[in-house]
Amino acid sequence: MKHLLILAYDFPPYISVGGLRPYNWFKYLKEYGVEPVVITRQWSNNYGNGLDYVAPGSEKKTRVEHSSYGTILYTPYRPTWSNRLLLKHGKNKYKLLRKTLTAFGEIKQFLWIAGPKKELYREAKRYMKTNPVDVIITTADPFVLFFYAKKLSREFNVPWIADYRDPWSQDKDFQINRLFYVWNKKLEKKIVSTSSSIITVSEFIEHKLHEYFPSRNVHILPNGYDPEVIDTIAELPQSTNRLTISFVGTIYEWHPWKSFLDVFSDFAEEKGAGQVQLNFYGINNPSEVQEYLKRLPVVTQESVGIFPKMPNMDLLQRLAGENVMLLFNYYSFMGTKIFDYIGTKRKILLCYANDEQALKLKEEHYTISEVEGMSKQLQVDLIRETNSGVIADNAIHLKQLLNDLHREFSEKGKIECHSTGVENYSRKIQVKKLAEIVKGL
């Protein structure tokens, strides 16, 4: 059996779409002849929001957990000075100082083993001195993990795999400052060129990677849904007494959430109190959403619920009892959320395919450089392929779709979803492909 060392910063109990990908590797690899060992950081999850990402770990020593799936090593974590200021004083104080400290830390961590993520490298090095490891895989971001994998690969003569969940220097966030972009581009090429294999989540990122590594074969292992979790909840009945629409996870700056709330508010007022419910789960900007809701009628405020992050199984069980899953357009990027949505077999409502206000937000805030000749509506394509939802072209069309959904719910007491072919997007299938790549090295 091959021994695979997985470096993953995001990993349960921290709840993120980035953490679910390596978790499912850990969960299923052993079935395909690969023994996984995960090295991650400790997560205290005391805040129930984005602050958990920078909060200190729970212990000062590495905690080791063994299970039938494999081994997990949770390393200590101490926040940077910048993030300690954030935790103590909030996001509105010391902005310039925190930004400066963060920029310095981003550069420093690639010059030597420094910064809060260094414990993953140190623990991996300690582990590899006394335990067999045949292959290293690291999933990013944070992309400093690629730097760690390169060093460990050289020190122990072990091949490593670079897993891109997102672009690195090709992301527009890295291109705001020209020098920072050039430096990261040089780093990326130098580090990733030493990998034995490159994998990613979509054809779009594969295409972007070929701009830097034209001769490399990039394997595409899409994100998907956890089949065991979905099988557990898929047959649960919708159990709401009003039409419920639910959104899960991060709201990005290019998401037209204010437009959606405006249309939903008109809709809720027309239908009256107690007829519809909009639920937000684990969003990153609850205060901003709550502040915007104060401008809207009372019936709208009473029809919107905002809930903290919760374990994935608890969340999916909750969603299974509801009616419609709200999805904002990611355009050239698929994301992960859509796979859990199609797995629950609840109808997806996507906003928007071609809305003027939404496209302005995209132009201002979208961080991914798109590729000519490739689809800029990946989620739309998948929804149509699987017959898993409806697509609001714009705000006017959204109002029509909400009325259609409410009519169906009034008549049937539920919203039907006649999706097909969703089993092709099981994470287990993708893990089998990963195991084959590992065995081939």
What confidence tens digit (pLDDT) does each residue in 132-157 have? 999 999 998 899 999 999 999 999 99
Query: How far is the first Cα of the chain from the last one, in angstroms, to the nearest whole number?
Result: 13
User: Does residue 47 surpass a pLDDT of 80?
Assistant: no
Q: Tell me which amino acid residue 357 is.
A: Q
User: Does residue 261 surpass a pLDDT of 70?
Assistant: yes
State residue 298's pLDDT score: 94
Alpha-helix runs per DSSP H in 109-226: 118-130, 144-156, 178-192, 203-212
The most confident of the ranges 191-195, 234-238, 271-275 is 191-195
Measured distance CA(262)–CA(266) in Å, rounded = 7
List pLDDT tens digits, range 231-260: 777 678 887 789 999 999 889 999 999 999
State residue 46's pLDDT score: 75
User: Does residue 114 surpass a pLDDT of 90?
Assistant: no
State residue 48's pLDDT score: 67
State residue 44's pLDDT score: 84
Range with the poorest average pLDDT among 67-81, 173-187, 324-338: 173-187
Do the bridges between strand 63-66 and strand 71-75 make them parallel or antiparallel, or are there none, so unpaired?
antiparallel
* pLDDT averaged over every residue in the chain: 90
What is the chain's length?
441
List pLDDT tens digits, range 278-309: 999 989 899 999 999 999 999 999 999 999 88
Alpha-helix runs per DSSP H in 193-344: 203-212, 227-233, 257-271, 286-293, 298-301, 312-320, 337-344
* % the chain with pLDDT above 90: 60
This model's pTM is above 0.95 = no
Measured distance CA(272)–CA(121) in Å, rounded = 57
State residue 265's pLDDT score: 96
Which of the pair, 404 or 238, is modelled with greater confidence? 404
Measured distance CA(404)–CA(432) in Å, rounded = 41
- Residue 225: other Cβ atoms inside 10 A: 25
List pLDDT tens digits, range 209-237: 999 999 999 999 988 888 877 777 767 88
